[in-house]
């Protein structure tokens, strides 16, 4: 019984993954268990007494057939993305630069003329499409949240809908077939991945190209980003598993490269088999993947390193707290919740987590803890001895900024090797 059928049959809101989401293989290998994690977007208001709250097992599974790495439980999307879920644009500088570069690269590589329709899946406030719009392309976004309205107000045509067969048919109906379909940082999140790829195919012109960007499994392994494991991320792709999925639908990878977004992602171009020339980058990235050895071996080492990083961080914290130091967390992205839960950082260790003033998270507790999220002004007013960087993957960008804004303390970088960066 497929996962969708299992859910429809009323076997519960969440679905245990007992077969690979891509190839259907059973007997998946359990490679890591991070314990039970609370949903990252369920944050209680400060002052509220703790009460019943769900937690879900964060087990990571590996498929030896297609090499997909995947979460072991698909949590009911109604719980992960409740209607009141405060979506934000998330358009950081790195992302904006990345989208501009995507437009330049695809225009060059695909010889785009500016006439091709470009469709973005999960188009948010239209930031990605804005680049193609400026280059003269007709564009259409598909976005399930109110951000679609914002995009429309900015002149980026957007349909407010989840992406699937109906949304694809509507786009074709209203705008025609697409020369380019993009899906950035959504391809790992949507359940029923085969329906999504089929819907992309329905949308693509014969020589159309599908461009997807996803957090890259190899980056996750290399820099120990276990904190990107949470229930919104159903799958973690390598080029090999991505290609396996695309090949199942008659698509082939024609170009790929690693990109810096989200701590290390991979951009993959795919077209109908034989429709486009395959570029040498595909073999290059494959060769690099293979040079690292079999994924199952790398995951075994990863598991050991994850456990070691936890005890090393504890040792460091023991030393700092033993000296009476105060530690503030900086930033409350989703990944912070995994790290805090797995390492076990509560109020006696972290005084608080600071966030930008207008973040909806200010005034709440970090999920599953009594660590308050407060306005970042507190960091500069209180000057604690240490700032724990919870967005450690952009530490190089964050540290100079915090220094410039007047933070005089030291920085605790939790991963991949817990270490302290001293103030200069």
Tell whether residue 66 is a contact of Zn ion (CB under 5 A): yes
For the packed helices 165-175 and 193-203, what is the interaxial angle rounded to 10 degrees? 10
Q: How far is the CB of 22 from Zn ion (least distance, A)?
A: 5
Q: Which is nearer to Zn ion, 20 or 345 (CB)?
A: 20
Q: How far is the CB of 235 from Zn ion (least distance, A)?
A: 10
CA distance 415 to 306: 9
Q: Applying CB under 5 A, which part among 21-29, 86-94, 188-196, 337-345 lies near Zn ion?
A: 21-29
Pairing of strands 69-71, 15-16: unpaired
Q: Which of residues 244-263 bind Zn ion (CB under 5 A)?
A: none
Tell whether residue 234 is a contact of Zn ion (CB under 5 A): no
Q: Applying CB under 5 A, which part among 4-12, 58-66, 183-191, 335-343 lies near Zn ion?
A: 58-66
Tell whether residue 412 is a contact of Zn ion (CB under 5 A): no
Give the Å distances, CA to CA, from 29 to 59, 247, 313, 415, 416: 10, 23, 28, 25, 24
Count the neighbouring beta carbons within 10 Å of the beta carbon of residue 401. 10
| HEC secondary structure over 146-184 | CHHHHHHHCCCCEEECCCCHHHHHHHHHHHCCEEEEEEE
Q: How far is the CB of 164 from Zn ion (least distance, A)?
A: 22
Q: How many residues bind Zn ion (CB under 5 A)?
A: 8
Q: Applying CB under 5 A, which part among 65-73, 188-196, 213-221, 262-270 lies near Zn ion?
A: 65-73
Q: How far is the CB of 266 from Zn ion (least distance, A)?
A: 18
Tell whether residue 194 is a contact of Zn ion (CB under 5 A): no
Residue among 17, 19, 54, 65 that touches Zn ion (CB under 5 A) = 65
Tell whether residue 20 is a contact of Zn ion (CB under 5 A): yes
Q: Which is nearer to Zn ion, 210 or 237 (CB)?
A: 237
Tell me the per-residue interface mask from 22 to 41 with Zn ion, x by CB under 5 A, - otherwise. xx-x----------------
Q: Which neighbouring-strand residues pair with 386?
A: 327, 410
Tell whether residue 63 is a contact of Zn ion (CB under 5 A): yes
User: Which has the closest alpha carbon to 88: 277, 333, 310?
Assistant: 333
CA distance 401 to 376: 13
User: Which has the closest alpha carbon to 150: 170, 173, 119, 129?
Assistant: 129
Tell whether residue 17 is a contact of Zn ion (CB under 5 A): no
CA distance 312 to 8: 45
Please say whether the beta carbons of 408 and 423 come within 8 A: yes
> Which tokens is 377 given?
């002004």
> Which tokens is 66 given?
């297609």
Q: Applying CB under 5 A, which part among 17-25, 35-43, 122-130, 343-351 lies near Zn ion?
A: 17-25
Q: How far is the CB of 8 from Zn ion (least distance, A)?
A: 23
Q: Which is nearer to Zn ion, 21 or 41 (CB)?
A: 21
Residues that bind Zn ion (CB under 5 A): 20, 22-23, 25, 63, 65-66, 68
């Amino acid at each position: 019984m497929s996962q969708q059928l299992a859910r429809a049959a009323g076997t519960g809101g969440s679905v245990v993954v007992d077969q690979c989401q891509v190839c259907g293989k059973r007997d998946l290998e359990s490679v890591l268990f991070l314990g039970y994690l609370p949903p990252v977007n369920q944050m209680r208001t400060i002052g509220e007494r703790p009460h019943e709250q769900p937690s879900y097992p964060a087990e990571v599974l590996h498929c030896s057939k297609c090499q997909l790495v995947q979460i072991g439980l698909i949590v009911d999307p109604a719980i992960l993305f409740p209607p009141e879920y405060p979506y934000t644009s998330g358009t950081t500088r790195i992302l904006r630069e990345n989208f501009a570069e995507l437009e330049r690269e695809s225009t060059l590589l695909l010889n785009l003329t500016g006439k091709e329709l470009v469709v973005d899946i999960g188009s948010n406030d239209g930031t990605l499409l804005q680049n193609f719009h400026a280059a003269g392309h007709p564009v259409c976004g598909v976005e399930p949240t109110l951000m679609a309205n914002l995009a429309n107000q900015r002149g980026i045509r957007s349909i407010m809908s989840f992406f699937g067969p109906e949304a694809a048919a509507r786009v074709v109906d209203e705008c025609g077939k697409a020369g380019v379909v993009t899906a950035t940082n959504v391809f790992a999140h949507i359940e029923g991945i085969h329906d999504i790829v089929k819907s992309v195919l329905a949308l693509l012109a014969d020589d159309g190209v599908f461009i997807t960007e996803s957090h890259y499994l190899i980056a996750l392994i290399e820099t120990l980003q276990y904190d990107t494991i949470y229930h919104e991320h159903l799958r973690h792709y390598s080029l090999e598993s991505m290609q396996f999925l695309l090949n199942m639908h008659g698509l082939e990878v024609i170009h790929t490269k690693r990109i810096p977004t989200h701590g290390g992602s991979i951009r993959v171009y795919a077209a109908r088999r034989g429709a486009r020339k395959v570029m040498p980058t595909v073999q290059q990235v494959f060769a690099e993947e293979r040079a690292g050895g079999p994924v199952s071996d790398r995951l075994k080492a990863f598991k050991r390193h994850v456990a070691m990083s936890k005890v090393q961080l504890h040792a460091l914290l023991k030393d700092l707290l033993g000296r009476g130091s105060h530690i503030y967390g900086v930033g409350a992205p989703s990944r912070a919740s995994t790290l805090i839960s797995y390492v076990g950082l509560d109020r006696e260790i972290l005084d608080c987590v600071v966030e930008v003033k207008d973040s909806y998270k200010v005034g709440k507790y970090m999920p599953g803890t009594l660590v308050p999220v407060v306005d970042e002004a507190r960091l500069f007013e209180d000057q604690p001895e240490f700032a724990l960087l919870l967005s450690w993957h952009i530490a190089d960008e964050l540290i100079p900024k915090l220094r410039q804004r007047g933070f005089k303390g030291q920085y605790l970088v939790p991963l991949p090797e817990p270490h302290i960066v001293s103030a200069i």
